[in-house]
Structure 1
């Protein structure tokens, strides 16, 4: 027992150190403050209705009417029955947010390096290099929590896979299952998809190695075990995966039936996202060196350039007070790359990249090649439209690649691979069986490449124009001062370029010097680890805190209630009816926080609604607004405030029509809405079971009960009629009932619901009853039970083997 405790004690101390570092970096959480994340503010607005419903009823709605006219909540934090892996995730994330994610970065990477047989000191060093990578910190600052969540579990997934290939089949299977289940539960399938691409490279390298070593039976046995582990992990997340898969087909990620754009021009036919949208955020070739020199291209779009900057001088020269000038320079758009907007550079670290280059010349074998392969793949694909041949091939031919946008984010893979290989550079440096001559040669080459690159940028900085894609806009916006503004901006960009290139050169020289001293027996192994820990922490944390620091933290109330009702909101909230609001005075999810809004903030809206929005709602087409029962429009007033315009012509919650036109294509249905009188007519491409109906002036249909997932209407019509409802059609879940009996309903006016209603008095109900939730929950329960049984069997087997080995040696 004493031996086991002594063996575990270093790991315990490392874990305690990770906890302390996580809390230290995000120290305001210790005083009860919370990080203010812009994307989470939008999420709170979007999910407010379902959160309120859950709090009031203890139930889950799975549908919200507060955004985009109505949509499923599957990608808005829906909670599912029997999702036990989420409970485990909650246990692992025991620290206050976002320290919990930073801790997960650390511990996952630490376990990965331990799996690769790295000693605990170097494993801890590697964890710091990974966890403090600037991109991983900045996504916590802006609120890309699900992305951070998925990235944090990537090392654990790799750990399980590597254990299986190391013939540690039982523990490898168990870890892969749990880690993959956690990875999927993070609910950022783009990151999981990128991890899959890396695993395929790893698998290809291991297959080739197994072939050379005549170990193919072991390889395929490992693949079989891993396949079963992944299937089980998918099963434990079945509800979310199945619901998402069902929703994707109807979302902007699915295939559109339209072949025209709002302006009438032909639309490119794709099975997923539009190619321009996918590649909008494409990494520039020159931006590659941001990995090594943080502000080579100006850093981000809101840099604090300080009092000694040319921008500060510019503001004071045009009459700004020192206080005003300091306020302005805190958000200077110094980024001059070719992406639309960048919060911060994807800086991996000068010290880490130097070690990576060093490792390229001392590390050999399959580990090196899958890490280098993953790094190169990640970098090339991140170029997006700037490397169109490769990107177009992946979009056109690689399954599911066209479902994801912002291709530059695939760089998370190189941010995972580079620190691993960097640490193995130190592992080989410490190996006694490798000659110092080879290590010294590798050091000279690495220092020459890394240091030489920094020197080249310093020598040839005059070759760059430091012009950003938005400089023309700034020149116009500042009028007579426009050119002076841009000149000051370019001067500060050049200064940042110079400062950070020099900074990188110094860090490279210090790193190279430390290794040289070690090779000359002037530094011990332990001291060298301490030196690199100091260098890496100094390097990365100093850059990280330019973008995420104590200023990002606010009181909990500002996070939980990020929006304050304005005069227009308060006036609209006096109306307790069921209707929709169009807010043209603001964007994002603000209106969704207070009202059933036609707008919102989401990367995967319902595809048909998004198309209708672009065609008509964004153009304020009154007939289309009326059919959504848009009762209020929030607009700016002349005094700089907002006011609620009341639309007296809104169609209401439901109405009978006199004419239903059948058209043959989505194009025809969409274009017909341009001038359609939606109060009396409707258009559809669907085949109806009955088309015989008539309208009478005495016919009425009124909403009598409303919940997000349930609507009840009372219908009274002397004739058979056809009613249109101001609700978004979603066939995979919404069921219609007349007097308690299930009846078919149809999609009309491109996005709305419609159905024939027989004459007389009837109760019409719409219930959101997604079968996918019931089926998925059953699979999740069964998979969780099966995994629990396998854990018990594995425990018994391992215990038996330990007992047998103990008896054999006694």
Structure 2
């Protein structure tokens, strides 16, 4: 027992250290403050209705009416039955946000290095290098929590895979199931997809190694174990995966039938995202160097500059007061790379890159090749349209690659691989049996390459024009002198940060030089490098995410305040929609059933209608969507609500139903369609039997006594009473979604179709009837059953594994005693 405690004590202290480090960086959480994350503010707005419903009823709704006219909540924090892996995730994230994610970064990477055989002391350096990589901190600052969540579990997944390839089949299997289950629960499939690409690279490296060593049987045995493990981890997340898979088909990630743009031009038809949208954020090739020099291309679009800056002087010359100029200079547009907007550079650290280069010369075998392969693949794919042939190949031929935007995000793989290689560079330097000449050669090359790069950048600084893609805007609005001032500051930070990286490289080289000369002990070298990496990365991180980003917890919990316009609208207790012209985000969704919202994966057909008509304030379409109130601003900037008396209401009978043949026809006709008396649908929208019953144009008798009234409305349930002397066709101003919504007439299930491109329609018999719509998605029921059964299976396998291990250890002890 004493021996076991001694063995585990250093790791417990490391974990405690990671907790303290995470809380120290985000220390305002200790005072009860919360970080203000712009994306999370929007998420709260989007999910307010479902959160309120959950608190009031104790039930879960998988549909919300508060955003984009209505959509599933699968990507808005929906909770599923029997999701036990989520409970484990919540237990691991016990620290206040965002310290919890930083802790997961550090812990996961530390465990990965231990699995790779690195000693605990050196593993701490790697954990710090990964956890404080600037991009990983920045995404916490802006609120990309699900992305951070998925990235944090990547090292754990790799650990399980590597353990399995190390022939620790039972332990590797159990670890992989848990780690992959946690990875999937983060629900950021873009990051998981990029992890899969890295795993492919790792798998190829291990396959080549197995072939050379003639141990292919062991390789494929491990592969079989891992496939089973991943399959079980997916089953543990069946509800999340199946619901997402279903939603993707109907979202902007799915195939679009419309072949034209709102301006009438032809549209590229794909089964994923538009090519330009995918590559909108493409990493500049020169910009790659900001991995080494943080503000090589200016840093971010809003760099904090002081009173001594040229930008400050430029604002003063434009007539700003000293306080106004200081405030404006806190957000100087210094970024001059290829991307439209950048919050901060993807800096991995001058010290880390120096050690990475050492690793290139000292590390051998499969680990080198999967780390280098992952790094190169990640960097090349991040170039997007700047390396068009490779990007187009992946978009056109690699499955699912076209489902994700912002190709620069793939650099998370690079940000994982580089610190691992850097750590192994150190490990090889510390190996007593390693050739000393190799170590000196590695030091010479690393210092020459990284230090030489910094010197070359300083020498050839004048060859850069420091012009940004948005400079024309500043030139037009502020004049050429202002642009010249920005360029001067860009040159200044370029020089300062390049010198900074050069000094860090020289200092790092000096530490290794002293160690190789036996002037410095290994333990002290490790301590110094730990502090160097921490100083290097935290020094840059604090420029972008610091205590100034924290506000009172109340402000984060309630991010939107009611305006007078909202208060006026709230007096109306009927069911309707609101269109907010003053905000493009989720502010209106926080208070109302809104046409607005903030999400990267909207329902595809609603997005089409929004882009074609809503954004242009087309009243015909706004009426069809039951937009009773419009929030706008007057000439003085005061917000007011406009009552739209022409809104069609919740449901209405139409006189004519016309069948069209293409999606293009259907969306274009909305501009002139009299939606109060006529509805349209497309041939492929209804079943074969319905098509046979419905002619090209069907007429209905609608007199003044015909009515359809909404009696009850909840996010997932709608109840109407219809009264009509004749058979009729009703249009419901509710977003059509073919999965989950069931319609009933007098308690009997009935079919309904999509009309007017995005709404629901239904034939209703004559007389008085009760009509109900219930959102009861089968995908959640099916997923929950699979999750429950797989959880039971995993527990049985876990217990079996423990019993097997205990029996094996007992047998070893018995054999030892007999000897």
TM interval, short-chain normalised = over 0.9
Q: Name the CA distance, whole Å, in 1 between partners of 2:263 and 2:311.
A: 41
1:629 corresponds to which of 626, 629, 636: 626
1:468 counterpart SS class: coil
TM-score by length of 2: 0.98
Check whether the contact 2:268–2:274 (CA below 8 A) recurs between aligned residues. yes
> How much does 1:529 deviate?
0.4
Residues 1:670 and 2:677 are matched in the alignment: no
Q: Name the CA distance, whole Å, in 1 between partners of 2:204 and 2:530.
A: 34
Matches within 5 A, 1:652-691: 652-685=649-682, 686-687=685-686, 688=690, 690-691=693-694
Residues 1:352 and 2:349 are matched in the alignment: no
2:453 counterpart SS class: helix
Q: Name the CA distance, whole Å, in 2 between partners of 1:736 and 1:701.
A: 15
Aligned to 2:93: 93
> How much does 1:435 deviate?
1.6
1:737 counterpart SS class: strand
Q: Name the CA distance, whole Å, in 1 between partners of 2:559 and 2:258.
A: 37
Matches within 5 A, 1:232-271: 232-271=232-271
Q: Name the CA distance, whole Å, in 2 between partners of 1:587 and 1:563.
A: 14
Residues 1:63 and 2:63 are matched in the alignment: yes
Aligned to 1:556: 553
Residues 1:542 and 2:539 are matched in the alignment: yes
Aligned to 1:719: 726
2:754 corresponds to which of 747, 750, 771: 747
Q: Name the CA distance, whole Å, in 2 between partners of 1:757 and 1:63.
A: 25
Check whether the contact 2:101–2:152 (CA below 8 A) recurs between aligned residues. yes
Q: Name the CA distance, whole Å, in 2 between partners of 1:222 and 1:414.
A: 26
> How much does 1:621 deviate?
1.3
Aligned to 1:380: 380
> How much does 1:316 deviate?
2.3
Check whether the contact 2:710–2:721 (CA below 8 A) recurs between aligned residues. yes
Aligned to 2:522: 525
Aligned to 2:322: 322
> How much does 1:73 deviate?
0.2
Aligned to 1:193: 193
Matches within 5 A, 1:337-736: 337-478=337-478, 482-685=479-682, 686-687=685-686, 688=690, 690-691=693-694, 693-736=700-743
CA deviations on 1:379-413 (whole Å, 9 max, x unpaired) are: 00000000000000000000000000000000000
> How much does 1:313 deviate?
1.4
> How much does 1:121 deviate?
0.2
Structure 1 consecutive aligned stretches of length 4 or more whose deviation exceeds 3 Å: 686-693
> Which region of structure 1 is more displaced relative to structure 2, 113-122 or 581-590?
581-590
CA deviations on 1:620-676 (whole Å, 9 max, x unpaired) are: 111111111100111111221111111000000000000011011111111111100
1:725 counterpart SS class: strand
1:262 counterpart SS class: coil
CA RMSD across the alignment: 0.8
Q: Name the CA distance, whole Å, in 2 between partners of 1:587 and 1:725.
A: 26
> How much does 1:318 deviate?
3.0
1:399 counterpart SS class: coil
TM-score by length of 1: 0.99
Check whether the contact 2:109–2:127 (CA below 8 A) recurs between aligned residues. yes
Q: Name the CA distance, whole Å, in 1 between partners of 2:25 and 2:165.
A: 36
Q: Name the CA distance, whole Å, in 2 between partners of 1:2 and 1:499.
A: 53
Structure 2 spans left out of the alignment, 5+ residues: none
> How much does 1:314 deviate?
1.6
Q: Name the CA distance, whole Å, in 2 between partners of 1:140 and 1:738.
A: 49
CA deviations on 1:494-521 (whole Å, 9 max, x unpaired) are: 0000000000000000000100000000
Aligned to 1:160: 160
Aligned to 2:308: 308
CA deviations on 1:740-788 (whole Å, 9 max, x unpaired) are: 0000000000000000000000000000010000000000001111000
> How much does 1:267 deviate?
0.9
CA deviations on 1:436-477 (whole Å, 9 max, x unpaired) are: 111001100010000000000000101111111111101112
1:249 counterpart SS class: helix
Residues 1:803 and 2:800 are matched in the alignment: no
Aligned to 2:75: 75
2:417 counterpart SS class: helix
> How much does 1:320 deviate?
2.3
Aligned to 2:283: 283
> Which region of structure 1 is more displaced relative to structure 2, 308-317 or 690-699?
690-699
Q: Name the CA distance, whole Å, in 1 between partners of 2:172 and 2:44.
A: 38
Aligned to 1:144: 144
Aligned to 1:756: 763
Check whether the contact 2:124–2:530 (CA below 8 A) recurs between aligned residues. no
CA deviations on 1:400-437 (whole Å, 9 max, x unpaired) are: 00000000000000000000010000100011111211
Q: Name the CA distance, whole Å, in 1 between partners of 2:431 and 2:811.
A: 35
Q: Name the CA distance, whole Å, in 2 between partners of 1:227 and 1:804.
A: 30
> How much does 1:534 deviate?
1.1
2:543 counterpart SS class: coil
